[in-house]
């Protein structure tokens, strides 16, 4: 490809994109006039292959909005949000450029629904001068375009939307990608660029940690101002090193770091960690340098960790490539952190608890390698059994994250538990909008939904992070993870007070106190003194020896009603702590049920605690910690064993819905009240009442008489969103006279509420059949897309805020779990003589709502409040709704799922 060639593609929305890629200058894509409408999606063929496409949604051709360029095999297609038209496949590059490795693309080659016309903007968009397999080239090309999206501040999610069905990319990391991250975690040689002999320098700390930590590979300090560092020969440049370098650790200012990255790629390094700060986090100039580095590395297929990070630690390889002084012991838990400062505190905390790690990584700005890359890698890492992660934000689209992590936590042959702690809970509501849904949700609701849908366990503290992780590493005699079959717990204690505390926390942690069967009670009576408590919680009395503990624990753990046990010990003068610990370990080795211990104290119980830790029994200082940890185990077991119902065969009038939306936007209407809103909902199967607009009191009376009494009147004004607050709703009007009087009163109330309001009149409808009031809502968030809400409706949603959220799209199973999450769910069942509600219809409507906001990205906010849910088999009725639209060109920064 000619150097510097930059063909131009002009878009109808007034945007111009300039693009080029070659071996020398990597890739550049520049939006003109501020437009950032670009994306990626993927297609899976029946044969199992994957094809990647670059999408320009606002480039028009033959009346079809959007163009997609296939990045492999020379096929070009035209694209719009609704259909995909495949066109002629070109066997060779049309403008004569040499094709390397079978990967090339073109702007506009043979575009059209039938492949019968050609628009010539032939431009090679990807070319590799070295020979690679087609799969390798596909992955290289994909990573190049992900880099482009990051340069343009886009979420780097890879998606497609075809016939309203969204299919994610494969969640299994290819072996090639796995080996690439091996260069970060298990390098055979490391060049420390910026190594220093001066104490107090980061370059000194990192090199010293590697050298004195006995890294089992080769180290190369690089510093042009030194002949040697700590008695090791130094090099002026990484290019001066004669041998192979797997990993480059870069501790240099941003400008010098960029040059070093270029040298490292020329050297052929397989991985790069940039510890230095001064990039994205300091402003546009630093971000530009960071983006250049990432683009170069993507083009070369080299992963980058950082910049602005602590580094990487792999205790098994004696590798402390960080500036933390502490190398933890080897273990089977991996830790990912976005915060370097937190890493040092966690390492110190882990040392105090004798906690070991498999991998430990600080990702800093996560310019390239991010949480999702690492979760895939660690899931396949044989040394990692549990993953802990500290998260501040996600930059990838929520759906990509959910589908990938769900594979890790559920569907693989070795599901991996993921424990997450995220900062920012107190910022809930920062993105609150004017709707009920937006005002209640906030950004933290988005993250909670992502974690729940993906099967991750969110914890509230660093202490819980370690407590839970220690439980998830428990194994039975066959090496299988111990998880409870249910949520029923037995408590064995030698002190009443802690037993009561444990009981209280057990209930609040979603567990139940097991009811012991008669045989178990008889067994306990045969071994324990008469003053003991033979029912759960079992109190073996303060003078209990190890034999009493062993007999009591054996009895309860054999009970079929018990799914696991918590053993509480308070040190008394007659308590043999070590022997009791040995008794617990013996029983633990004979059962598949989890056993957690609470040895209260520090010095007096230290010998027993150490013995339990050495034999893989989780031990805690306080009963509430053990109860929370057991609750996490039970939650994960329930996640693994959840049922999967058949999906609903729903049909929607998507074309009519699109017509309504486009018509509203064409006349500048972004707020949809009940007239247009109900028409839109009807397209997706929502049962709505006949509703008409009256502009006079007489017209309202005529309409009400025709529809039938009792009637309902509602104010219609774009400025009055919450009608009840303005006195704009009247119900149960039983005659013409009441309707006419009600109309006049509503108009007067509205004028008093907002004298500048544009009052259109009143909606006239009939009373909805009786039912339970619920709310369905949606609010669209940057990067993540639409968030769905469900809860009890009317004023109760604002007073009690008993609601549940899910990130769209969702299907039947997620809709059901969403409904079960609210505390008042039992009110939908038969209750005090009131028949059960039609929950199956509710599930269908939640799925329909998800489909609607997914298919129509113009929908920014939506509330159906209330939705009246009738008895089983009688369906539901929409009583009120409001919808807010945004034209797509105004909505460019919102994820288009």
- Residue 692 scores a pLDDT above 50: yes
Q: What is the pLDDT of residue 268?
A: 96
Question: Confidence band (pLDDT; 50, 70, 90) for 895?
Answer: very low
Where, residue-wise, is CATH 3.40.50.261 in the chain? 177-470, 474-641
Where, residue-wise, is CATH 3.30.470.20 in the chain? 647-688+769-896
Q: Output helix, strand, coil percentages for the chain, rounded to the nearest 5.
A: 35, 25, 40
Q: What is the pLDDT of residue 796?
A: 66
Quick one: average pLDDT of 627-655? 94
- Residue 451 scores a pLDDT above 90: yes
- Residue 573 scores a pLDDT above 90: no
Q: What is the pLDDT of residue 68?
A: 47
Tokens of 120: 């010539």
Statement: 647-688+769-896 belongs to CATH 3.30.470.20: yes
Q: What is the pLDDT of residue 341?
A: 81
Q: At what angle do helices 175-185 and 371-380 cross, to 10 degrees?
A: 100
Q: Tell me the C-alpha distance between 189 and 247, whole Å.
A: 6
- Residue 688 scores a pLDDT above 80: yes
Q: Tell me the C-alpha distance between 760 and 695, whole Å.
A: 7
Quick one: average pLDDT of 65-85? 35
Tokens of 616: 């893989």
CATH number of this structure's domain 474-641: 3.40.50.261
- Residue 73 scores a pLDDT above 70: no
Quick one: average pLDDT of 460-468? 92
Lowest mean pLDDT among 83-97, 344-358, 394-408, 713-727: 83-97
Quick one: average pLDDT of 119-124? 25
Share of the chain above pLDDT 70, in %: 76
Sign of CA dihedral 483, 484, 489, 494: negative
DSSP string computed for 871-894: BTTS-EEE--EEEEE--GGGGTTB
Quick one: average pLDDT of 730-748? 95
Q: Tell me the C-alpha distance between 211 and 230, whole Å.
A: 9
Could you read off the pLDDT of 235-274 as tens digits, one per residue? Answer: 999 999 999 999 999 999 999 999 999 999 999 999 999 9
Q: What is the pLDDT of residue 398?
A: 78
Q: Average pLDDT, whole number, for the chain?
A: 80
Q: Is 693 exposed, middle or buried (0-12, 13-18, 19+ CB in 10 A)?
A: middle
Q: What is the pLDDT of residue 737?
A: 95
- Residue 154 scores a pLDDT above 90: no
φ/ψ bin of 732: left (φ > 0), alpha (ψ from -120 to 50), beta (otherwise): left
Q: Which residues of 811-841 are buried (b: 16+ CB within 10 A; e: fewer)?
A: bbbbbbbbbebbeebeebeeeeeeeebbbeb
Q: What is the DSSP letter of 82?
A: S
Q: What is the pLDDT of residue 477?
A: 81
Lowest mean pLDDT among 117-121, 538-542, 570-574: 117-121
Could you read off the pLDDT of 792-811 as tens digits, one per residue? Answer: 876 667 777 789 999 999 99
Tokens of 555: 């009895």
Q: Tell me the C-alpha distance between 360 and 779, whole Å.
A: 36
Q: What is the pLDDT of residue 442?
A: 55
Question: Confidence band (pLDDT; 50, 70, 90) for 674?
Answer: confident
Could you read off the pLDDT of 474-504 as tens digits, one per residue? Answer: 988 888 899 999 999 999 999 988 888 888 8
Question: Confidence band (pLDDT; 50, 70, 90) for 507?
Answer: confident
Question: Confidence band (pLDDT; 50, 70, 90) for 891?
Answer: very low
- Residue 340 scores a pLDDT above 60: yes
CATH of 177-470, one of 3.10.129.10, 3.20.20.70, 3.40.50.150, 3.40.50.261: 3.40.50.261
Could you read off the pLDDT of 394-441 as tens digits, one per residue? Answer: 887 778 899 899 999 997 778 999 999 988 765 443 333 334 444 444
Best mean pLDDT range from 6-10, 326-330, 578-582: 578-582
The answer to whether the peptide bond before residue 192 is cis (omega within 30 degrees of 0) is no
Who contacts 201 (Cβ-Cβ below 8 Å, separation ≥6)?
Answer: none
Arch. (CATH architecture) of 690-767: 2-Layer Sandwich (3.30)
- Residue 93 scores a pLDDT above 50: no
- Residue 84 scores a pLDDT above 90: no
């Amino acid at each position: 490809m000619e150097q510097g060639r930059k063909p131009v593609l002009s878009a109808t929305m007034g945007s111009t994109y300039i693009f080029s890629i070659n071996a020398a200058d990597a890739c550049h894509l520049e939006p003109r006039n501020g437009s950032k409408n670009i994306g990626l999606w993927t297609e899976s063929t029946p044969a199992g292959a994957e094809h990647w496409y670059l999408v320009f949604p606002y480039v028009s051709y033959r009346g079809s909005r959007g163009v997609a360029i296939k990045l492999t095999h020379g096929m070009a297609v035209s694209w719009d949000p609704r259909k995909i038209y495949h066109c002629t496949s070109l066997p060779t590059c049309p403008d004569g450029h040499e094709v390397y490795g079978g990967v090339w693309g073109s702007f506009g080659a043979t575009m059209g629904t039938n492949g019968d016309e050609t628009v010539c903007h032939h431009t090679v968009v990807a070319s590799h001068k070295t020979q690679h397999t087609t799969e390798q080239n596909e992955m290289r090309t994909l990573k190049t375009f992900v880099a482009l999206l990051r340069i343009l501040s886009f979420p780097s999610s890879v998606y497609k939307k075809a016939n309203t069905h969204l299919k994610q990319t494969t969640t299994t990391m290819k072996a090639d990608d796995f080996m690439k991250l091996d260069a970060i975690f298990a390098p055979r040689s490391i060049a420390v660029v910026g190594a220093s002999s001066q104490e107090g320098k980061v370059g000194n700390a990192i090199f010293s940690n590697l050298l004195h930590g006995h890294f089992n590979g080769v180290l190369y300090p690089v510093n042009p101002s030194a002949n040697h560092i700590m008695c090791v020969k130094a090099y002026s440049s990484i290019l001066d090193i004669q041998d192979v370098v797997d990993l480059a650790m870069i501790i240099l200012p941003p400008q010098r770091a960029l040059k070093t990255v270029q040298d490292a790629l020329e050297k052929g390094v397989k991985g790069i960690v940039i510890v230095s700060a001064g990039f994205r986090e300091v402003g546009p100039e630093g971000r530009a340098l960071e983006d250049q580095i990432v683009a170069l590395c993507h083009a070369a297929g080299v992963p980058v960790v950082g910049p602005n990070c602590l580094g990487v630690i792999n205790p098994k390889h004696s590798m402390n490539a960080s500036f933390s002084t502490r190398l933890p012991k080897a273990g089977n838990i991996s830790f990912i952190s976005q915060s370097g400062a937190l890493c040092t505190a966690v390492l110190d905390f882990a040392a105090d608890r004798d906690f070991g790690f498999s991998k430990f990584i600080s990702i800093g700005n996560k310019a390239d390698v991010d949480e999702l890359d690492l979760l895939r890698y660690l899931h396949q890492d044989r040394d990692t059994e549990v993953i802990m992660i500290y998260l501040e934000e996600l930059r990838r689209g929520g759906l990509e994250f959910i589908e990938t992590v769900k594979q890790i936590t559920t569907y693989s042959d070795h599901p991996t538990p993921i424990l997450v702690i995220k900062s920012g809970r107190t910022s809930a509501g920062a993105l609150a909008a004017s709707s009920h849904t937006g005002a209640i949700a906030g950004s933290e609701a988005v993250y909670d939904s992502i974690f729940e849908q993906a099967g991750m366990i969110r914890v509230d503290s660093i202490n819980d992070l370690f407590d839970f992780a220690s439980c998830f590493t428990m194994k039975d005699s066959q090496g299988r993870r111990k998880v409870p079959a249910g949520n029923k717990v037995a408590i064995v204690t030698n002190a009443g007070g802690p037993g009561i505390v444990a009981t209280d926390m057990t209930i609040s942690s979603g567990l139940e106190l097991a009811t012991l069967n008669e045989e178990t009670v008889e067994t306990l009576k045969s071994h324990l003194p008469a003053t003991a408590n033979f029912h759960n919680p079992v109190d073996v009395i303060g003078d209990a020896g190890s034999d009493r503990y062993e007999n009591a624990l054996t009895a309860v753990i054999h009970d079929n009603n018990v799914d696991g046990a918590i053993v509480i010990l308070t040190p008394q003068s007659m308590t043999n702590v070590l022997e009791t610990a040995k008794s617990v370990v013996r029983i633990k080795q004979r059962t598949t049920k989890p056993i957690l211990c609470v040895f209260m104290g520090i010095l007096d119980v230290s010998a027993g605690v150490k013995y339990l830790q050495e034999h893989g029994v989780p031990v805690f200082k306080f009963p509430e910690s053990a109860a929370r940890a057991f609750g996490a185990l039970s939650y994960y077991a329930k996640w693994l064993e959840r049922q999967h119902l058949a999906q609903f065969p729903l049909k929607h009038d998507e074309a009519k819905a699109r017509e309504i939306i486009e018509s509203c936007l064409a006349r500048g209407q972004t707020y949809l009240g009940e007239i247009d809103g109900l028409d839109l909902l009807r397209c997706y199967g929502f049962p709505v009442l006949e509703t008409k607009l009256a502009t006079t009191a007489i017209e309202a009376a005529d309409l009400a008489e025709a529809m039938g009494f009792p009637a309902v009147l509602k104010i219609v004004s774009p400025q009055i969103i919450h009608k009840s607050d303005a006195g704009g709703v009247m119900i149960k009007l039983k005659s013409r006279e009441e309707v006419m009087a009600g109309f006049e009163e509503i108009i007067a109330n509205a004028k008093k509420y907002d004298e500048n309001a544009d009052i259109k009149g009143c909606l006239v409808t009939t009373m909805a059949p009786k039912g339970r009031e619920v709310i369905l809502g949606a609010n669209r968030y940057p990067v993540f897309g639409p968030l769905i809400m469900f809860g009890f409706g009317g004023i109760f949603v604002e007073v009690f805020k008993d609601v549940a959220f899910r990130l769209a799209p969702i299907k039947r199973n997620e809709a059901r779990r969403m409904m079960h999450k609210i505390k008042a769910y039992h009110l939908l069942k038969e209750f005090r003589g009131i028949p059960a509600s039609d929950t199956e219809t509710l599930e269908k409507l939640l799925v329909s709502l998800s489909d609607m906001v997914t298919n129509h990205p113009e929908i920014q906010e939506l509330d159906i409040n209330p939705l009246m849910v009738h008895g089983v088999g009688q369906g539901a009725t929409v009583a009120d709704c409001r919808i807010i639209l945004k034209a797509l060109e105004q909505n460019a920064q919102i994820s288009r799922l």
